[in-house]
A and B are shown apart, each in its own frame.
Chain A
């Protein structure tokens, strides 16, 4: 569907992107994830044509569109700020692209009403000015405006970052549902790993203008290709020499010279060890209370090990309490030390 072949972008002397290769399948929800300034938005803007790459090509459905003008690409975009036209009503905002396509008035009205229904905007809201709508409603308008021209691809540039936490989660689910219903190929940019993991079919993790890993959420999370990816996504414990040798004694084959990581939720407290597991004696140093779960800081094997325990009323420990920490060497992700 979309292929980026060896894309490079420069701003003056600064290389913003180098050798970006991505393949997005038809109907897929594909996320560009990374910290700010990593090049994910630049890549998105290269696909929509706002930025011209100095090398490489953008191919959509087998057609090279690298030099096709922005307005002829028919790739929808939802902006971080929504970029709704403040001088137009909601209806006129959505109808803007259709009017430019010189569609007849009744046809425009029909299409606008149809898409408004799908994104859950009422007829009353269509008559309003954009500024009279709430953040969540404005977001729906932005999506409706991007979808109404029936683009083959829709790009979203951090579309949820302007909303408060609760609405963000709610709209995230709606967004996924809408994408499923429309079946439209979606490219989504975010720095929020939770958003990326819950929404995506595939994730490309960006760092310093290059892609570190492309994979499914599970691949990226549990089999991070690079040290950067495993650190960027989720919380993780870096294991010290004492813990590594203990794991090796239990049958692990870890390289003590490498950086060995283990996810917090893969460490268990006061459970019966399975064959091949290692047990370390420790003491609760402190804890952070999150409601849904509790994060414990446990002093064991000469370091602080972070552990997540579900707040289910069963495994509740207090600071100073002696505990047993159980882990499996197979859960360890190792990267050569740099």
Chain B
């Protein structure tokens, strides 16, 4: 509607440059690599060197490739059941029913927010592995028990059931807190028993959230990576990574098979997300009440049920908390104690975090040999520290890049919100959401592993140190959809009159953006940056796909710590460092989540009030000191 005179030259130039950049980003780093993967399925050459478009597909139906898809589907379906049961339980137990100690329980159930992925899986391994602490304890108590119970499908299902309830803990909790308590009271008033109310009044309002969570869980199960890899389960993702690193000398067209598997995964994801978004578009039951009453916790009246509910709640709490508590404790234990899996309450150490010690071991010649500084802490071990540093730098760059790109894109989308160009931009930025991460990474790895890609200057991006650039690119692209959804919401929350007001007071469009709009969305942008960083810092799936000695990220280092330790004096106290790593990750994530949801969510008024309180406290302290001095005089 508004038009400004003049300055069209540079503005137009900037716009053209911007649009060219986005076209480059979308075509070059989203569309082309993935299309190349799709095409590679049909470019397979058979043994006689003739192109046979359907060779892989015939192979798929003849060989065992189908079993990977089947395994993934089995995992996804089972996870939907188990995660929903546990996820709904933890939310009802902490938010709906009156369970004693709900605050503590909630903290326990939410631990998955601060550690997940490879850190969580290695933690579970540490406890439940055939020589893990808990398995050893259990085997002593029940001699008939199979010490290898924690492997394969069971282990993956068990681990992921408790690892994947974070979304329930966040979104289902919000949904249940959004229920108008008056509807519950009305149902009770009309004679419904508490469980009838839960089933007939509360659950129906949760269905939309439950549906989204179910689809997300299903996709998580299909695309599972760290748990199947580390616990040994033949699902699609680990197989793609294995095939990507294999060569045609060892097996029949591994690259094309990997491509086929990743396309199958993509098809599943696209179908599921289409179903989800068409469901979301149908609209939901919205609360019609203007004056919502806050939900009050429901007491379970039958004593037996009440006791059973408490027992159930605390068993879940123990399952959630044991790995956390054990890992924190063991991270401060000595090498020997960890090795023997025996708590030594008299001997605590920081060696798993800082400093190093010499390590003495018996060689097969019967002599003792000492390796200097072989027992080393997280921040003293060169490989670990290298992984941390690399992950830190790559994640920070990618998280920031994604934010900058999305802020610019959102500004454009917002300005053209009723035009086709705005919608097109939005869909381009959301494109990676449709594709499994593994497809994007695998496509990058294959497509950029060549000197023929002209638009990156004919450089092989998978070669040597260039792989770091490739990782940053993948990190950035994969984080675009999430960033867009969050930052766009912030843009839409800006009162349009603010922009008018700023212009009216004499500010140019650029100054308006920098001084008025940016400060308003900045908390959201910083939050997105922090959440992106948090997710990427311990990211495993992508770095595993790009596995290379130049791109050994923190998660890869943690994975390598799971290998047999102490052999010939190498890889000593890896388990200790693994525990220390998990503690370090929990601290980093905890701080980030506190900054995002605790400090970052405050507006200027709340910040000024907090400042005021601090000032008053300081004055009180000073006053106290002065009075004491006076009293002393």
Decide if A and B are genuine partners.
yes
Interface size on A, residues (CB 8 A): 38
Q: CB distance A77 to B506 under 8 Å? A: no
A85 to B504, CA, bound (A): 13
Q: CB distance B500 to A71 under 8 Å? A: no
CB distance from B498 to the nearest CB of A (A): 5
CB distance from B394 to the nearest CB of A (A): 31
Q: CB distance A76 to B504 under 8 Å? A: yes
Q: Select which of B4, B500, B604, B608 is within 8 A of A86 by beta carbon.
A: B604
Interfacial chain B residues near A101, Cβ < 8 Å: 506
The A interface, classified by DSSP as helix, strand, loop or mixed, is loop
Q: CB distance A100 to B506 under 8 Å? A: yes
Q: Select which of B3, B495, B605, B608 is within 8 A of A52 by beta carbon.
A: B3
Residue A48 at the B interface, CB < 8 A?
Answer: yes
Q: Select which of B1, B2, B519, B608 is within 8 A of A132 by beta carbon.
A: B608
Residue B293 at the A interface, CB < 8 A?
Answer: no
Closest chain B residue to A71, Cβ basis: B506
Given contacts A85-B498, A97-B505, A149-B505, contact A129 B608 (CB under 8 A): yes
Residue A109 at the B interface, CB < 8 A?
Answer: no
A96 to B609, CA, bound (A): 23
Q: Select which of B2, B505, B604 is within 8 A of A96 by beta carbon.
A: B505
Q: CB distance B504 to A75 under 8 Å? A: yes
A99 to B608, CA, bound (A): 22
Interfacial chain A residues near B501, Cβ < 8 Å: 77, 79, 83-85, 145
Q: CB distance B603 to A71 under 8 Å? A: no
Interfacial chain A residues near B505, Cβ < 8 Å: 71, 96-97, 100, 145, 149
Q: CB distance B520 to A86 under 8 Å? A: yes
Given contacts A52-B2, A81-B497, A83-B498, contact A70 B504 (CB under 8 A): yes
Q: Which of B501, B505, B506 lies at the interface centre, i.e. has the most chain A CB atoms within 10 A of its CB?
A: B505
Residue B508 at the A interface, CB < 8 A?
Answer: yes
Residue A51 at the B interface, CB < 8 A?
Answer: yes
Interfacial chain A residues near B604, Cβ < 8 Å: 86-89, 129-131
Interfacial chain B residues near A51, Cβ < 8 Å: 1-2
Residue A182 at the B interface, CB < 8 A?
Answer: no
A198 to B547, CA, bound (A): 77
A67 to B6, CA, bound (A): 11
Residue B503 at the A interface, CB < 8 A?
Answer: yes
Interfacial chain B residues near A71, Cβ < 8 Å: 503-508
Given contacts A52-B2, A87-B519, A87-B520, contact A77 B504 (CB under 8 A): yes
Residue B511 at the A interface, CB < 8 A?
Answer: yes
Residue B5 at the A interface, CB < 8 A?
Answer: yes
CB distance from B606 to the nearest CB of A (A): 8
Q: Select which of B4, B500, B519, B607 is within 8 A of A83 by beta carbon.
A: B500
Q: CB distance B506 to A83 under 8 Å? A: no
Q: Which of A73, A77, A84, A87 lies at the interface centre, i.e. has the most chain B CB atoms within 10 A of its CB?
A: A87
Interfacial chain B residues near A87, Cβ < 8 Å: 516, 519-520, 522, 604
The B interface, classified by DSSP as helix, strand, loop or mixed, is helix
Given contacts A96-B502, A128-B605, A129-B603, contact A83 B2 (CB under 8 A): no
A131 to B178, CA, bound (A): 24
A101 to B508, CA, bound (A): 12
Q: Select which of B5, B504, B507, B607 is within 8 A of A48 by beta carbon.
A: B504
Residue A72 at the B interface, CB < 8 A?
Answer: yes
Interfacial chain A residues near B508, Cβ < 8 Å: 71
Interfacial chain B residues near A69, Cβ < 8 Å: 4-5
CB distance from B167 to the nearest CB of A (A): 30
Residue A80 at the B interface, CB < 8 A?
Answer: yes
CB distance from A161 to the nearest CB of B (A): 13
Interfacial chain B residues near A83, Cβ < 8 Å: 495, 497-498, 500-501
Residue A50 at the B interface, CB < 8 A?
Answer: yes
Interface string of A162-189 (1 = CB under 8 A from B): 0000000000000000000000000000
CB distance from B575 to the nearest CB of A (A): 48
Q: Select which of A73, A77, A100, A127 is within 8 A of B507 by beta carbon.
A: A100
Interfacial chain B residues near A85, Cβ < 8 Å: 498, 501-502, 516, 519-520
Interfacial chain B residues near A77, Cβ < 8 Å: 500-501, 504
Name B190-228 residues within 8 Å CB distance of A.
none
CB distance from B272 to the nearest CB of A (A): 38
Interface string of A77-117 (1 = CB under 8 A from B): 10111011111110000001100110000000000000000
Q: Which of B497, B501, B609 lies at the interface centre, i.e. has the most chain A CB atoms within 10 A of its CB?
A: B501
Closest chain B residue to A9, Cβ basis: B1
Closest chain B residue to A51, Cβ basis: B1
Interface string of B1-36 (1 = CB under 8 A from A): 111110000000000000000000000000000000
Instruction: Provide a sorted-by-A list of 9 A–B residue pairs whose CB atoms are within 8 angstroms.
Output: A45-B500, A52-B1, A70-B503, A77-B504, A79-B497, A85-B516, A87-B516, A145-B505, A149-B506
**Which 6 residue pairs across A and B have the least CB separation, nearest first?**
A97-B505, A129-B605, A87-B519, A83-B497, A129-B604, A83-B501
